[in-house]
Amino acid sequence: MRRSGRYRQMARDMAAFRDAYQEVVDLTVPKLDFMMRVRDPKPGKEWDLAEAKLKAARLAGRARQAQRSSDASVPFSVNGGQIRLDPVLGWEYSLRDGEAMPPDALLATLSLMAGAIESKAEEAEHNERSLAGRVAAFVGFPLQVRALATAEHPSLAKAALATGIAAQVFAGVMATLIAALITTAVAALWKYANHDPQASKPLPAVTTPVPVPSTTPVSATPNPSRT
């Protein structure tokens, strides 16, 4: 799965936990108990509330991983700031002390984290469409294979990494061969498109005339002045 896909899944997990917590709140009513604002089950909703709590607890475990990636988690301060409660792990405290952890504030915090993760997913999708993102995904392929294999079979971590590297090398060789074939084909087409049929015809031979020296005949008659 690509990074953007993982972010999308984590955003859905956080939103699912938020909705499950909203169901818990809807099944309760606030009241004061020893100067503390608590939430009790609505009349006749005790069983429904118990099921809703179990669902919220299960989804909180999935949302915990998303919370680490959101970079937007805000803890709640209890007892004058002496205790800081995690909004995901400590969600049930809001039912026992609505002053320290108001349900509305907790819902807003969960929505904030879901939105922050969605923003990361959009940024990751933009990067994956770029050339640098494709190269980064190719380089990280062996580690992704190892992570998936380790999640199912921890003993196969080394074998999975070796398999991923071998697949990456094979893909790199094939990509290089394909690129070389494409380059050769393009060069051949370019040469054919720019070929001039007239240029291949032999030029006519040019002959330069060689001058022939003229010869003056020598007279055999003696010169009369010398006689």
List, in sequence order, every beta strand (DSSP E) within 22-138. 28-33, 36-41, 76-78, 83-85
More confident call, 102 vs 131: 102
Q: Mind listing the pLDDT tens digit for each residue in 29-51?
A: 999 877 788 999 999 999 999 99
Q: Across the chain, which distance is largest between two alpha carbons, in Å?
A: 170
Report in angstroms the alpha-carbon separations of 79 from 98, 136, 140. 13, 47, 46
**Does the predicted TM-score (pTM) go above 0.85?**
no
DSSP three-state, residue 216:
coil
| Contact present, 120 and 69 (Cβ < 8 Å) | yes
